[in-house]
Amino acid sequence: MKLNPTIIQLLNNRGITDEKDITEFLSEKPQKTYDPSLLDDISAGVDLILSEISRGTRICVYGDYDADGITSTSLMLSVLGHLMPKERLDYYIPSRFEEGYGLNMEAVKHISESGAGMIITVDCGSVSSEEVEYAKKLGMEIVVTDHHNITDKMADCFLINPKKPGNPYPFHELSGCGVAFKTAQILQQKAGLPKSVLTEVLDLVAIGTIGDIMPLVDENRTMVKYGLKMINTGRRPGLRKLIEGAGLKIGSITSENVGFVIVPHLNASGRIEDASQAVKLLTADEGDSCIEEIVEDLLFKNQERKRLQAEAYKSCTAVLDRENPEDFLLIESEDAHEGIAGIACGRIKDAYYRPSAILTPTGSRGELLKGTGRSIEGVNLYQLLKNHEDLFEKFGGHAGACGFTMKRENLETLRKGLLKDMAKLAEENPELFVKKYHVDMELGFENINIAFAQQLELLAPFGNGNPKPLFKLVNVTINDVRFMGNENQHVRFTTYDREGRSIQCVLFSRAADYGMMLYAKRPVDIIGHLECQVWQGTKRLQFMVEKIKFD
């Protein structure tokens, strides 16, 4: 296929310039992957797992309650299930509400009392040094597989993590499920299992990688491409039923479908109640009676999640000044559901374009506040909060998101400190609170056609690290405006260039941002994404609008 020059330019702009790299990036069968044996401790860790299997030890896989943890747990269970009787294999997902993230002492004790002699962690455990020592004290073996930054004392056990200091593995951005998969590769090699054991779990790797918003480049791109193919075979019965129940079609699932539909449904289990049911769904066999029941429950829980999220957003924004928001939004909420606080916080951050945190009461008498924060470009939330670390009982996170627990009486001190920090950042960067749109290039109407739009899909899968190309239409006029939705929150219109060429445009959810300005009949610039859609068998072009710039 002859590539459109604009496609080549897009790749070059993203640092993909070498012909071999371009071929690899666009290939339907990419080859970029790394030898799993380069991961520190992986060979010794797998030897220990196989030794415990041969001894007849009961093994518990310990995961996390988000999509990455759910898929990591399911993957490890699936692979180990080829090596040992399933009655000796168990899993444990901690409660978001009662236990929080990672290993905890009570869980370790419970697992030991249940008869397990070994714990394999997935997507957690790197800094659980005390919990690991406790497990060893109880006579258990433990192997940690994880991908999180190691910001505290490392667990003293076989620890498989690409971010481990001194680790020679060349790619550090694997998801938790990606690390579980690399461990499974060594298990497959050492145990002499067929390679199909690995192929059949690539769908889980794709979901975990996309769900944890890992960059879709390098080795992740390879695994996600093959994983999407596996999803589209529909071979995993529980996943197939969930996809059908959510209104998607097997055979045409994209990374966006995974990120915006499949992942939220899996996450809904842990946000509303118990993520263990999602693991049960993903590991169910064809014909298992539990599948229909779990899918129905996940569909209900996701709707409940949306309702709770809307309620939290409405109640939290009711106390904010939309015209003059503070530069860091610290919002106390007595009734925001803990499981959706992070999503609601993300929506508030987007609406006000300020770093934000929602704080809900916790502790036996509500004497503590549990905070969930999200940040904007240019504000490293982790560093910002670390400046006030002495105010927190617990604290962790990264540049874009964080979590913390604090005494209620420290809130005003934190607020004043953060506002002072933000004032300094705003002084250094006057454009800090202006949302950034990283436009790939200007696009002339002479280049807009179905063939070009279809070639854009060669750049997929899209996501973190490889966003959909963002184009700018320059000096165009708007006509044929039609508002849509029960609250006129969406708008469709036609855009014309100076030669009279046109394209249909759609703006979702933010029609109120522009309102009557859309009728001004004056030249504007429009930023958005070009899509080729199929409607009743006919292909048509559509420009999905992100921003309209009026002079």
Task: With respect to residue 28, please indicate whether it lies within any of the assigned structural domains.
Answer: no
For residues 255 and 454, give the distance between their C-alpha atoms in angstroms, rounded to a whole number. Answer: 16
Same domain, 331 and 371: yes
Helices 105-113 and 129-137, packing angle to 10 deg: 30
Q: At residue 1, does pLDDT exceed 80? A: no
Among candidates 236, 241, 187, which has minimal Cα distance to 71?
A: 236
For residues 155 and 144, give the distance between their C-alpha atoms in angstroms, rounded to a whole number. Answer: 8
Task: With respect to residue 310, please indicate whether it lies within any of the assigned structural domains.
Answer: no
Q: Which of 189, 210, 232 is the last residue of a domain?
A: 232
Q: At residue 395, does pLDDT exceed 90? A: no
Same domain, 77 and 222: yes
- For residue 216, give the 3-state DSSP assignment: coil
What pLDDT shows up at residue 397? Answer: 81
Contact 124, 176 (CB under 8 A): yes
Task: With respect to residue 276, please indicate whether it lies within any of the assigned structural domains.
Answer: no
CATH number at residue 519: 2.40.50.460
- Within 10 angstroms of residue 479's Cβ, the number of other Cβ atoms is 13
What pLDDT shows up at residue 338? Answer: 86
Q: Which of 232, 248, 265 is the last residue of a domain?
A: 232
Quickly state the pLDDT bin for 396 (edges 50, 70, 90): confident
Mean pLDDT of 284-292: 95
Same domain, 113 and 226: yes
Residues 70-89 pLDDT 10s: 999 999 999 999 999 999 99
CATH number at residue 41: 3.90.1640.30
Q: Which of 167, 201, 232 is the last residue of a domain?
A: 232
Residues 221-249 pLDDT 10s: 999 999 999 999 999 999 999 999 999 99
Residues 497-530 pLDDT 10s: 999 999 999 999 999 999 999 998 899 999 999 9
Task: With respect to residue 25, please indicate whether it lies within any of the assigned structural domains.
Answer: no
For residues 403 and 358, give the distance between their C-alpha atoms in angstroms, rounded to a whole number. Answer: 10
Q: Token pair of 164, please? A: 């481990």
Residues 203-222 pLDDT 10s: 999 999 999 999 999 999 99
Task: With respect to residue 315, please indicate whether it lies within any of the assigned structural domains.
Answer: no
For residues 251 and 229, give the distance between their C-alpha atoms in angstroms, rounded to a whole number. Answer: 8
Q: At residue 364, does pLDDT exceed 80? A: no
Positions of E strands within 71-211 = 89-92, 118-122, 141-145, 158-160
What pLDDT shows up at residue 59? Answer: 98
Among candidates 437, 546, 543, 527, which has minimal Cα distance to 493?
A: 543
CA dihedral 345, 349, 352, 355 (to 10 degrees): 110
Q: At residue 494, does pLDDT exceed 90? A: yes
Same domain, 150 and 53: yes
Same domain, 138 and 185: yes
Same domain, 340 and 379: yes
What pLDDT shows up at residue 418? Answer: 97
Same domain, 468 and 390: no
The domain of 496 spans 441-550
Task: With respect to residue 169, please indicate whether it lies within any of the assigned structural domains.
Answer: yes
For residues 456 and 343, give the distance between their C-alpha atoms in angstroms, rounded to a whole number. Answer: 30
Q: Token pair of 460, please? A: 């997929």
Same domain, 543 and 424: no
Q: Token pair of 233, please? A: 């075979």
Q: Where are the alpha helices (DSSP H) in 404-522?
A: 411-428, 450-456
Lowest mean pLDDT among 160-169, 195-204, 317-326: 317-326
Same domain, 203 and 157: yes
Quickly state the pLDDT bin for 103 (edges 50, 70, 90): very high
Same domain, 421 and 391: yes
CATH number at residue 331: 3.10.310.30
Average pLDDT score over the chain: 95
- Within 10 angstroms of residue 462's Cβ, the number of other Cβ atoms is 19
Instruction: Count how many Cα atoms sit within 13 Å of the Cα of residue 206 in the half-sphere of its side chain.
Output: 29
Task: With respect to residue 20, please indicate whether it lies within any of the assigned structural domains.
Answer: no
- For residue 262, give the 3-state DSSP assignment: helix
Looking at the 3D structure of the chain, how many domains does it have? 3
Contact 209, 147 (CB under 8 A): no
Residues 13-25 pLDDT 10s: 999 999 999 999 9
What phi and psi, each to the nearest 5 degrees, are found at residue 503? -150, 145
Quickly state the pLDDT bin for 38 (edges 50, 70, 90): very high
Q: What percent of the chain has pLDDT over 70?
A: 100
CA 402 to centroid of chain Cα atoms: 14
What pLDDT shows up at residue 415? Answer: 96
Same domain, 130 and 195: yes
Same domain, 408 and 381: yes
For residues 360 and 336, give the distance between their C-alpha atoms in angstroms, rounded to a whole number. Answer: 7
Mean pLDDT of 183-211: 98
What pLDDT shows up at residue 534? Answer: 78
pTM of the model: 0.94
Q: Token pair of 442, please? A: 């200007």
Task: With respect to residue 156, please indicate whether it lies within any of the assigned structural domains.
Answer: yes
